[in-house]
Structure 1
Amino acid sequence: MRPIKQDLIPGLEERGATPRAISDGFDPARLTQARRLAEMTKKDVAGALGVTPAAVGQYETGVSKPRPDLIPRLAEILAVPPTFFLIGRPAHRLDASMAHFRSLRSTPKAQRERALAFAEQVWELAYALELRVQLPIVDLPGFAGGEVHPGAELSVEPVAAARELRRRWGLGDGPVTHLVRRMESQGIVVVMPPAGDPSAASVDAFSTRAARPLVVLTPNRADDVYRHRFTAAHELGHLVLHGDATGDSRQEKEADAFAAEFLTPHTSILPLLPKRMDLTRFAELRRVWGVSIHSLVYRCRELGLISDATASRTYQRLRALDGQPGFTAESVSNYLGEQPSLLGQAFELASEETGLTVSALAHELAWTTSRVRELLGVRDQRPVLRLVQ
């Protein structure tokens, strides 16, 4: 990443932040985004605001604007600064047709909408940082500096596409180390919602090809680095294979096939897989290749080494060993190479080169400083006052 000269950064136009000015310059899409982030319905907002749900609907469609006296209360209800609702800031709107959800059927509409609003904010943060720091160029089929070039696509067949991408990225035939950091180095923005963020609790993982490619991972759903890596490779498969996000079962199976071949290439893993279900051997391969034992057993079945019945018995044995040494989940927090760092490093570089602060970034985005810290993974450095009774 390289810093960009400060004089190239367009200043955010200063406007009066009175309730009247915010009402006059009200952005309907910002209300929708804030409501979805709060996971509230129009009825919920209306009840807290003291208006009808139809009125909130009119605010969001732009048919009418909230009265000035409602602005402070609206901001309080949705936990955003009042200036959040001002029109004019860069934005990128997403809908469900533009994203792949890892567990689409089990993810309610409201939670998908919240996750998409979260992704919109990640885009805004990345955009603000990229005005100051040149992020890695996107090296992914279909992208060139953020622009889509359909002619550059890889094979539409999952296994072939995985092999071609490994060659393109110079990964050779062995294990893929530091998968998440490698994805970031190829220009893909990878984020994990803060542990307390509802996006982490409600959505398994998803990705979108809109603008710069983005992958959202939620490790606290199953804090296991091996499952985490497979999910990351699965979402990478969606980015490579599926420009149009229909989210059907066929695409999910294709993304799984891509992930399996990308992490454990057929020609490399086949000679290493045991012909008999040797769980100790699987535990060794798990650590070397960075994939779960369940994935390795499935790979054996997929490659015709074992029958469905043998695979089923092996899964039963694994359930009995769950929690034992060599068979327990390993936290993602123990593997720095599998944790996103792109946006945080971009902020650090911008701070060093341009003097950017969390407060300044929050002002520019019209977010709270705590929200900026959450998405950047930056801790509040102020000492905590503790009163002893």
Structure 2
Amino acid sequence: MTERSQLRLFRTSQDPSPAAGVAEAFDAARLTQARRLAGLTKAALAQQVGVSGAAASQWEARTSPPRPDHLARLAEVLEVPVEFFAVGRPYAQLDGSAAHFRSLRSTKAAQRAKAVAFVEQMWELTYALEKHVQLPPVDLPGFLPDDTDHLPDTPAAAARVLRARWGLGTGPIPHLVRTMETHGIVTTMVRFAGADTATIDAFSTSRMPRPLIVLTPDRGNDVYWHRFTAAHELGHLVLHRDAAPADPEQEQQADAFAAEFLTPADRIRDQLPTRVDFTALEQLSRAWGVSLKSLIYRCRELGTISDASARRAYQRLNQLYELGIIGQDPVANYPGEVPSLLHKAFELAESNGTLTMTGLARELRWRLPRLRLLLGHPDERPVLRLV
């Protein structure tokens, strides 16, 4: 037995708590991930743990691991099992610059860091589930390393080619999110950042082993806006895989892709009114699953109405929303627009007897509430608070 092994056994015999063993196998990257998920700076974390800011920085810099008592406190503050901080499980680290945020300028750095850490966990969950269930293969041109098939560079052409590849024809797409999931794109819509979720718009990344799109429930009160956002992020995946985010032109290109993907110009042009007719637009809105605002923009873009008519239509539309004459239709009413890939994968594994919620949480070293949340199974029970 080596001197190091003897020392490890000695320490464990002196302190048999889980924290003692984790201190010997501490993974600094896990601490960084948990801190970002909690939305804390190193200084704020250090204050809550009761150590200096320098100590917290040294932990994450791999200069020195935290003591067992500090690990126990870290687990309490960051709401993870103490075993979360140990090495020994796959970890795909994502750089914050590799995610396309729908509203990058209004998303603070701490919120982006929290969102990126969430994506890392979504990959871990997907990886764990794929040990038990075969998920749909990724069918996105140019995504896989050995795939030499690439979509055209122009947004509209790329949208048309992808529609053809997926066999969607030229008509309305009834279940957009379900369609993306059946082609191997991991899609999620959970309140992953608590109250901060409302301040983070949708985002996506193609830098993980599977393409991933994050849709936020606070932006899902309107199914039509939700569908356009999903198509917008799909546009980023196919058009901007190797491009650096934060380019306004990329956002315009993703919008153009979404418009053509949801409402192909050759098919919808003849259906658009030649004057602003909200009754006709409402019927088209429901038939194609897009918002009135998107249809007005499409009318102007395809030349069926003038710019001046479009401006007046937007003004009138805003008035109708303010008066409550036109309301929003929540995503919850449309199962095909609610992500279900990972949730169904777990249910299949569970029904085959190969996986349990407790076993999966133990494998991932997460708390059960966190696992339920990411699977789309949040605990709906009321919380009893004693005062």
TM-score by length of 1: 0.91
**Correspondence for 2:213 among 215, 224, 228:** 215
Amino acid at match of 2:225: R
Q: Cα gap change, 1:196/1:33 in structure 2, threshold over 3 Å: closer, same or farther? A: closer
Deviations 1:15-56 (A, max 9, x none): x86222111111011001000000000010011111122221
Partner of 2:173: 176
Supply the distance in 2 between the matched residues of 1:113 and 1:40 (Cα, whole angstroms): 10
Amino acid at match of 2:61: T
| SS of 1:354 mapped into structure 2 | coil
Q: Is the 8 A contact 1:228 1:332 kept in 2?
A: yes
Supply the distance in 1 between the matched residues of 2:383 and 2:230 (Cα, whole angstroms): 40
Deviations 1:106-134 (A, max 9, x none): 10010000001011111110100001000
Supply the distance in 2 between the matched residues of 1:152 and 1:357 (Cα, whole angstroms): 39
Moved more, 372-381 or 201-210: 372-381
Matched, 1:224 2:222: yes
Residue 325 of structure 1 deviates from its aligned partner by 7.4
| SS of 1:152 mapped into structure 2 | coil
Matched, 1:344 2:337: no
Q: Is the 8 A contact 1:92 1:123 kept in 2?
A: yes
Partner of 1:164: 161
**Correspondence for 1:241 among 230, 239, 244:** 239
User: Structure 2 matches for 1:57-76, cutoff 5 A?
Assistant: 57-76=57-76
Supply the distance in 2 between the matched residues of 1:385 and 1:181 (Cα, whole angstroms): 32
Deviations 1:336-372 (A, max 9, x none): 0000000010000100113411111110000001111
Supply the distance in 1 between the matched residues of 2:45 and 2:71 (Cα, whole angstroms): 12
Q: Cα gap change, 1:385/1:219 in structure 2, threshold over 3 Å: closer, same or farther? A: closer
Residue 323 of structure 1 deviates from its aligned partner by 6.0
Moved more, 371-380 or 83-92: 371-380
User: Structure 2 matches for 1:138-149, cutoff 5 A?
Assistant: 138-143=138-143, 147-149=144-146
Moved more, 123-132 or 63-72: 63-72
Amino acid at match of 1:155: P
Supply the distance in 2 between the matched residues of 1:251 and 1:346 (Cα, whole angstroms): 33
Supply the distance in 1 between the matched residues of 2:362 and 2:297 (Cα, whole angstroms): 50
Supply the distance in 1 between the matched residues of 2:383 and 2:273 (Cα, whole angstroms): 58
Structure 1, unmatched stretches of 5+, are 1-15
Supply the distance in 2 between the matched residues of 1:195 and 1:75 (Cα, whole angstroms): 19
Supply the distance in 1 between the matched residues of 2:169 and 2:342 (Cα, whole angstroms): 28
Q: Is the 8 A contact 2:201 2:219 kept in 1?
A: yes
Supply the distance in 2 between the matched residues of 1:60 and 1:263 (Cα, whole angstroms): 45
Residue 198 of structure 1 deviates from its aligned partner by 4.2
Supply the distance in 1 between the matched residues of 2:284 and 2:325 (Cα, whole angstroms): 11
- Across the two proteins, how many residue pairs are aligned to each other? 369
Supply the distance in 2 between the matched residues of 1:34 and 1:369 (Cα, whole angstroms): 15
Residue 306 of structure 1 deviates from its aligned partner by 2.4
Supply the distance in 2 between the matched residues of 1:165 and 1:53 (Cα, whole angstroms): 50
- Percent identity reads 56
Supply the distance in 1 between the matched residues of 2:191 and 2:25 (Cα, whole angstroms): 31
Amino acid at match of 2:141: P
Deviations 1:291-349 (A, max 9, x none): 00000001111112223222111111001111667721100010000000000100001
Q: Is the 8 A contact 2:28 2:59 kept in 1?
A: yes
Q: Report the aligned-residue RMSD.
A: 2.0
Q: Is the 8 A contact 1:188 1:215 kept in 2?
A: yes
Q: Cα gap change, 1:70/1:385 in structure 2, threshold over 3 Å: closer, same or farther? A: closer
Q: Is the 8 A contact 1:17 1:83 kept in 2?
A: no
Q: Cα gap change, 1:385/1:272 in structure 2, threshold over 3 Å: closer, same or farther? A: closer
| SS of 1:133 mapped into structure 2 | coil
Partner of 1:114: 114
Q: Is the 8 A contact 1:208 1:215 kept in 2?
A: yes
